[in-house]
Amino acid sequence: MYMQIKMPLACLVILTYTLLLYGLKRRLQTLTSRVFQWIGVAGVIHVLAAVVTEYTVNNRNQVSFLFNHIWHIIFLVSLSFVCALMYLYVLLYVERSSGTSRHGSKICLFVVLAFSILGELILPIDYIDTPMGSYSLGPKGYSLYLIVVYSMVMQVYTVIRYRRLLSLEKSSVLLASAAIFAIIASIQIAFPHILLTGLGITLIVISIAVSSEDVHMFINEQGLYNEQGCRKLLQEAVAVGKPFRVGMYTFLGQDEAILEAMRSIQAVLPEGKAKVICGAPAENLLIVVPLRSGSNVYPLPELPLLSDAEDITVCQKIVSVDAQGTVEDVLRSAREFRTRFEEDSLQRDELTGLLRRAAFIRQADFLLKAGHPFTFLMIDVDNFKQVNDQYGHSVGDELLAMVAQTLQQELRSTDVVCRMGGDEFGVLLQGLTEPSIITRITDQLRTWVGMIHLEDAPDFRVTLSIGAKISRSQDRSRSFRDIYSQADMALYRAKNAGKDRITISDCS
């Protein structure tokens, strides 16, 4: 009897060791990998139950009936789960590869599993004693055969039918696993006193673990999932056939700052808890897949505070994918999102977020050609060089950003604001040509800017010198270069007159 215990005991040690090694390695966090982990857990429970029941069956006079019966049920139910999970493992692979849900097959599997477990729980059990040892048989065991035969037959059928969707290595391993278990199950049925199910489970778990998807194929040098890894998880989300959401981030800036930003977002949504992953299917693009996991909805995390926040700009959005969405649709949306952000960023100043000079001039030329009246303001921050020289360029940058923010807040949404370069800003006041109104608006701007307080330069008072040029509808033949030149001359006169004032060009 003790010789018979050695086999399942050895299998228990080997199986536990295999699962520990598997757990120590980072794996692609797919549904199939999680199902495999459950196969391993159910396998360990089954082999442990095999060790106990081998002893209790042969020593029924020394242990209570209830104790023996409970461990028999654990033995049978755990083996039922192993078989069902193996077939589910195959179904999930097919789902991911085909992009279509195998919902009907899953329901059939769960129904058969439920009937088997119900029989194992309520039907009686018989014990047979032989010179070679005792073993159990009877209706409980026959209930187990139902799920064993069904899952093994369906596993072989599914692998053969969808072999073109599976890799040659994966289909070979799955077929070999089914064959191993079928052979061992046949031996077990023919010779009940030989306990081989633990050996079969151990061989199957080892073979699947060896052939499982190595995460190194799906991560980049930064430790984030690459495009292939993102595709794998998107395929699973699409195969479910239900709407889901994907979070997207795109970045511009220093490579080190972008990498820090990506990793900080990954830390906010750890794979183990949220069951979502961060992937970088392209440079400076990060996606979070999915934002919904079961009944839990995870918000798109805000970008955490970074040490190099000044060296990076970021844009984020959430994309909803409907039941008919595809992996290519999601990745196409991500790349289009990145492209639009990059194109827009090329037109905007990194420090202030305002339009750059070239984009601003295109707006002005459009207004001129269309005959729309406007007033162009040329704005200069007085004594800005003093700030840089006395307090440093970082304080100067802070001042420019605060002036830009004030201009955007106090002007209308229809007005166009630009950083012309250095400490000079440009503004297009659309539809405004009355000098009195322009003077009132610029006086308000100078008042608001005068309220700016710099912590590192508390004694510096911020003032603006402004030159203005009015363009009326009849000026459509004039170029913006002429208007710019006259506004620049008006600005020059404002500075020579003592600064902190506006001068409107009187040239026709």
Q: What is the DSSP string of 8-32?
A: HHHHHHHHHHHHHHHHHS-B---HH
Residue with tokens 């799955």: 174
Residue-range domains of the chain with CATH: 2-213 (1.20.1070), 218-346 (3.30.70.270), 357-504 (3.30.70.270)
The tokens describing 503, both together, are 């001068």
What angle do the packed helices 357-370 and 480-496 form, to 10 degrees? 120
Quick one: which of 347, 351, 357 has its CA closest to 425? Answer: 357
- Sign of the Cα torsion 441, 442, 446, 452 reads positive
Specify burial of residue 54 (Cβ count, 10 A radius: 0-12, 13-18, 19+): buried
The tokens describing 471, both together, are 């363009």
Q: What is the pLDDT of residue 283?
A: 67
Furthest-apart CA pair in the chain: how many Å? 119
How far, in Å, CA of 149 to CA of 135, rounded? Answer: 21
Q: What is the pLDDT of residue 2?
A: 45
Which 3 state secondary structure label does DSSP give 290?
Answer: coil
Q: What is the pLDDT of residue 273?
A: 44
In tens digits, the chain (508 residues) has pLDDT values of 444 556 667 777 777 777 777 777 666 667 777 888 888 888 888 888 888 887 777 777 788 888 888 888 898 898 899 889 989 988 888 887 777 778 889 999 999 999 999 998 888 877 666 666 556 667 877 888 888 889 888 988 888 888 877 777 777 877 887 787 778 777 766 666 666 676 677 777 777 766 666 666 777 766 777 777 777 778 777 777 777 778 888 877 667 777 777 877 777 765 544 445 566 666 678 887 666 545 556 666 665 555 445 556 778 888 888 877 778 888 888 888 887 777 776 677 778 888 888 778 888 888 888 788 899 999 999 988 888 888 888 888 888 999 998 998 888 878 889 998 888 999 999 888 899 999 999 999 999 988 888 888 888 888 999 999 998 877 666 778 888 899 999 999 999 998 989 999 875 4
- Sign of the Cα torsion 93, 94, 97, 103 reads negative
Enclosing H/E stretch for 135: strand 133-137
Q: What is the pLDDT of residue 422?
A: 86
Q: What is the DSSP string of 288-310?
A: EE-SEETTEEPPPPPPPP-TTGG
Contact, 132 vs 64, CB < 8 A? Answer: no
For the beta carbon of residue 101, count every other beta carbon within 10 angstroms: 17
Check: pTM over 0.75? Answer yes or no. Answer: no
Q: What is the pLDDT of residue 95?
A: 82
The tokens describing 407, both together, are 């201009």
How far, in Å, CA of 329 to CA of 458, rounded? Answer: 53
Enclosing H/E stretch for 216: none
Beta bridge partners of 428: 376, 416
Phi and psi at 197, nearest 5°, equal -60, -35
